[in-house]
Amino acid sequence: KEGQGCRVTIVGDIHGQIPDLLHIFHLNGLPSARNSYIFNGDWVDRGIQGCEVVLVIFAFKILFPRNVFLNRGNHEAVDINDFSGFLDECRDKYDEEVYYEFNEAFSTCPLATIIDEKVFVVHGGLPRVDMKVNSLYQINRKITEVDYEHPDHCILADLIWSDPEEYLQGRVPNTRRGAGQLFGPDVLAKFLALNDFHTVVRSHEAKQE
């Protein structure tokens, strides 16, 4: 509701590519009180400028707290960015203490954002059980390292790891990623109806050409 009447740009996986972030700003304008952004996870790893990406989007969050939103992705966790590039980047530029401070900050970020009460924006996908989004407030998201076998971490893992599967009915474990769920169109339809949403917007996968 804070951003009602504004344009909203949803930015998917930047993965440490500061030129991509700057190109998006060139196309859509800088974040402002009339130009909202949702950075939908996976800000770090793979690219070599994850620190710079995070510092820029965090700075804009401080400048425009009601217009910049930071959804956590599966790479905003120690169990992934330990070996996907971000730890090495922080060691090269700063030290491990800075790395762990970054991950502490990541663990405070929301798992989803709702636009105008109708659009559910999440990095990965839907949880393993049918639930109203108000239930998500009960999740302990202050977890820097996700334990995929721990029952208290399952819903968090689903939101940052899950994928839709066009020809699937129901849900099955997401074995191709080793975390989260695969969910079919029937699960999506039930989630939308249960929460009176129009659509779900996600990142986490490259768009097929």
112-130 pLDDT per residue, tens = 999 999 999 999 999 999 9
Are 107 and 78 in contact, with CB atoms under 8 Å apart? no
At residue 77, φ and ψ (nearest 5 deg) are: -160, 145
User: For position 100, what pLDDT does the model report?
Assistant: 96
User: Residues 51-104: pLDDT tens digits?
Assistant: 999 999 999 999 999 999 999 999 999 999 999 999 999 999 999 999 999 999
Question: Catalytic residue among 75, 123, 153, 204, which?
Answer: 75
- What is the residue whose two structure tokens read 């009180």? 33
> Tokens 């997401």 appear where?
174
Residue 198 a catalytic site member: no
Alpha helices in the chain (DSSP H): 18-28, 50-63, 78-81, 86-93, 96-106, 154-161, 185-195
Residue 209 is predicted with a pLDDT of: 60
> What is the value of pTM for the model shown?
0.93
Percent over 90 (pLDDT), the chain: 84
Task: Render 83-108 in DSSP notation, one character per residue.
Answer: TSSHHHHHHHHS-HHHHHHHHHHHTT
| Greatest pairwise CA separation for the chain in angstroms | 48
Each residue of 21-30: pLDDT tens digit?
999 999 999 9
